[in-house]
Structure 1
Amino acid sequence: MNKLSRHSFVFLSIVGLTFSFSAYSKEIRIGVSLPTQRDIGWVRYKQGLEDAAKKSGAKIFIQVADQDASVQASQVDNLLSQKIDILILAPQDAAAAAALVTTAHKAGVKVISLDRLVLNSNLDMYVSFNNVKIGELQGEYIAKNLSKGNIVLLSGAPTDNNSKLLKDGALVHLQPRIKNGNFKVVTEQPITDWQPSVAQKIMENSLTANKNNIQAVIAPNDNTAGAVVQALAAQKLTGKVFVTGQDGELTAAQRIVAGTQSMTVYKDQKKLAAEAIKVAMEMAENKSVNTNGKTNNGKIDVPSVLLAPIVVDKNNLDKEMIQSGLFKKEEVYKYIK
């Protein structure tokens, strides 16, 4: 090899190595669209996503739609304009968000649905808790602890597919008791936008219509459970009616130790957020993702990563929520003298 050839070989080798390193170390740009920050669950998701992205070296862009589907659509357009590599989408409106998946795909960007499933779309991945299981845990708790009685069956926002999954899960254990007459559903209503004020009004109306003869309430999350408890308190019925919840909020833990809420289902949102970032990085780098199920969204079976939730009541609250480091004991027992 002559001198010129040797120099050329060295130069090309350096260029090749530089290119290879650049391709390997390319900063992944992750766009995130969240529906709200109005409850602690979505606050935890945002914090978890930011922390996990920082640890992974990814650049993250997060926008919050504040429960407005049209705002979310504009924000997704904005995120795509920032040349993101992948989009994590938690839809405000599960059906309307199908158009956002199409828009992202036209821009060459894959979409991960976080917590809430985007319906009737060619969604690339779903990362969530097993929401049917969460509903099952709520229904099972009532079925185990109540032999017969009148039940108020509340569900979440009609625009959120999780509402249907939770209700379907609860009915797995409630329906046999309803069929044999031991349980009677006296009120069955969805809660617009998961608003506690709506849940409280429904509960107040149900108490009036049934002359306070209600033994259990399926409240679809902890925020709405708190509103149900307020309605019960006005009738001096707190602690006398079973009330479910889910999300594992501090206020729910406080109500459980006070005896006004029966249980919650704890979901570690930060753990799920970290999983979503891990999956996003793998997909952006065209690596295989270790899924553990498929979830039908009305159009396709979406590859899914589903984490398991945990039932928490007065018997295991200290272990799951205090000893785990989630909350401090003085916070949980703040109102207990």
Structure 2
Amino acid sequence: MWRVLPTIVFGLFCQAATAAPVIGVSWPGDTTHQWKVDSEAIRDAISAGAGAVIETDARLSAGKQILDVKSLIDAKVDVLIVAAVDARALEMPIKAAVAAGIPVIGYDRPISLDGVLSIGFNQADVGRLQSLALYAARPRGDWVLLKGDFDDPQTARLYAGQIGVLRDSISAGLIRIAGEAYTPGGLSLNARRAFGNILDSTRNAVDAVLTPDDASAGEAISVLEERGLIDKVAVVGQGGDPETLNRIARGQQTATIWEDHEALARKTADVALQLAAGRTPHELGVTRQLDDGQGTTYELHLQPFTITVDALGLALTAGWIDAERLCRHVPAGRVVDCP
């Protein structure tokens, strides 16, 4: 389906010059650096493929995102990309999009509904890499497991990957779980509060912390710093933003599991353009099918990988961070790539 439509970028309208496949994108909120980077990368890739983009911003509101998705359906977009605030809350409008013949892509956060193709990083793989990285640093001792939102299916996937690695060591008594807690809404400040409570209950007797993301890792590190424990506790997160890479360089964070969101955005844009041209997930080589009780869904996973202090040179070479930001406040001689 090809036609001329105005391109909308966060509410700004401009007339498309020629007929183009129109890709609708519903973002969860404009408050994080990640979504802004992803948005720019998707727009650039779709524009390079002679497509047009309509973007909306839910401002972290599930209710607004429901209205946003409905507005994109009404705009008769050729493909709908959704980075969900709350995937379960979007069930009705997503089903309406599929019923209207609009291919739907769940971006970064899976949408487990019939006919949806989700593209992102397998959280079970991320959890496995997290545990391996933290185990390499602290193969014995008292661990804390900070989780995401209880209602987020990604939380269960991440936890399954983590525990799959740790189960034998826990059974053998080498690793003891000193505390674990969900973080309502997946908010890093809730992770900070939960971690502080666990430290209080254990009288600071903690050796390692697994966190659901690097924002939560940063809050945990802040608490450790306040209590004079920054050099005693290993911390692993996921994400790999510049602040996290700097913390790893400074020795405050043990590792992060890097998810290349520019690669994710480019891949998603390419898939969206091909779906708009009438190709099916099977024709694109997406054969993985899951049934989470809501119907058959397709998932395409990109590969996450571990960044420790020894791999920071890779981050520099790839352009994820520049030397000035990476090396800020890094002690001389600690990182080979820093003067």
TM-score where L is the length of structure 2: 0.87
**Residues 276-322 of structure 1, C-alpha deviations (whole Å, 9 max, x = no match):** 11111111111221226334433334222211011000011122x10
Aligned to 1:9: none
* Correspondence 1:109-128 to 2 at 5 A: 109-119=102-112, 121-128=113-120
**Residues 115-160 of structure 1, C-alpha deviations (whole Å, 9 max, x = no match):** 11113x2133111112211110001112232232111111112343
Of the candidates 178, 184, 194, which is equivalent to residue 186 of structure 1?
178
Of the candidates 314, 318, 332, which is equivalent to residue 313 of structure 2?
318
- The whole-number CA distance in structure 1 between the counterparts of 2:256 and 2:28 is 22
Alignment pair present for 1:289 and 2:314:
no
Aligned to 1:89: 82
Query: Gaps spanning 5+ residues in structure 2: where?
Result: 5-17, 332-339
Alignment pair present for 1:129 and 2:124:
no
Larger gyration radius, structure 1 or structure 2: 1
Of the candidates 291, 297, 301, which is equivalent to residue 302 of structure 1?
297
- Aligned residues: percent identity? 26
**Residues 46-93 of structure 1, C-alpha deviations (whole Å, 9 max, x = no match):** 222111111111111111212211111011111112121111112111
- The whole-number CA distance in structure 2 between the counterparts of 1:209 and 1:168 is 25
Aligned to 1:225: 217
- The whole-number CA distance in structure 2 between the counterparts of 1:297 and 1:44 is 30
**What SS does structure 1 have at the residue aligned with 2:29?**
coil
Q: Would the aligned equivalents of 1:149 and 1:216 in 2 still touch at CA under 8 Å?
A: yes
* Correspondence 1:34-53 to 2 at 5 A: 34-53=27-46
Aligned to 1:54: 47
Following superposition, the deviation at residue 214 of structure 1 comes to 0.4
**Residues 201-238 of structure 1, C-alpha deviations (whole Å, 9 max, x = no match):** 11111111100000111011111100000111111111
Following superposition, the deviation at residue 327 of structure 1 comes to 0.8
**Residues 249-301 of structure 1, C-alpha deviations (whole Å, 9 max, x = no match):** 11100110111111011111011111111111111111221226334433334
- The whole-number CA distance in structure 1 between the counterparts of 2:160 and 2:115 is 22
Which has more helix, going by share of residues?
A: 1
Cα RMSD of the aligned pairs, angstroms, is 1.8
- The whole-number CA distance in structure 1 between the counterparts of 2:189 and 2:246 is 20
TM-score where L is the length of structure 1: 0.88
Alignment pair present for 1:79 and 2:72:
yes
Aligned length: 313
